[in-house]
Structure 1
């Protein structure tokens, strides 16, 4: 089984570039309405969908409500320190600076351009 979260965003191309820079992913689809972000091995990591586009499924959410309330996008990265540097170079809003968790791995909490909470972690020991 593989998890493939989908989030709604206001600007799919801009969010795609932002996540590509942050996570070191690449575009697996491209476009103004929908994007698939893949890792170096081609695995799907994250899907982006424009709020206003309904396609065949209808609306996916209400853009007037807080984005991602109660949901964290959690990414375990082998290059954690480099990912934190990339995040800082993007000028992210830091929610919690780098800290060692009670599980023994490092975490860095931030917000993406649409206000979703993102957590970067080092691998678990």
Structure 2
């Protein structure tokens, strides 16, 4: 089983570039309305969908309700955690919690993406 989260964003290409820079992933689809981001090994990591585009499934959320993803964290465990934190710093992200040692025995760095979703980068869990 594999989790493949999908989030609604205002600008799919810009969000795609942002996540690609942050996570070191690549586009698996491309487009203005929908994107699939794949990890370096090719597995699906994250899907992006433009607000107010319903394709054949209807609306996926209400663009007026804020904050987006309230109560949901996009949690990425990264082998290259320190490099990802450097990439995040270069992107001038909105830092929620700076790099810190977690009680779970790994490093964490909490931030917000351009649409305001909470993103957590972690080093591999022990």
Pairwise CA RMSD = 0.4
Deviation at 1:52, TM superposition (A): 1.4
Superposed, which structure 2 residues align to 1:15-30 within 5 Å? 15-30=15-30
CA distance in 2 between counterparts of 1:95 and 1:102 reads 17
2:125 paired residue number: 124
3-state DSSP class of the match of 2:18?
helix
TM value normalised by structure 2 = 0.98
Match of 2:49 in 1: 49
Please state how far the C-alpha of 1:37 moved relative to its aligned partner.
0.1
Tell me how far apart the structure 2 counterparts of residues 121 and 40 of structure 1 sit (CA, whole Å). Answer: 17
SS of equivalent to 1:32: coil
Q: Structure 1: which 5+ runs fail to align?
A: none
Name 1:59's counterpart in structure 2. Answer: 59
Which aligned pairs between 1:78-89 and structure 2 lie closer than 5 A?
78-89=79-90
TM-score, with normalisation over the residues of structure 1? 0.99
How many Å separate the matches in 1 of 2:51 and 2:40? 27
Q: Distance in 1 between matches of 2:118 and 2:65?
A: 15
Count of aligned pairs: 125
Whole-Å Cα distance in 1 between the matches of residues 27 and 118 of structure 2? 21
Query: CA offset at residue 41 of structure 1?
Result: 1.2
What residue is the counterpart of 1:34 in the other structure?
34
Determine the structure 2 residue equivalent to 1:110: 111
Partner of 2:13: 13
**Matched residues in 2 for 1:106 and 1:99: separation?**
6
Unaligned runs of 5+ in 2: none
* Divergent runs of 4+, >6 A: none
Name the counterpart of 1:94.
95
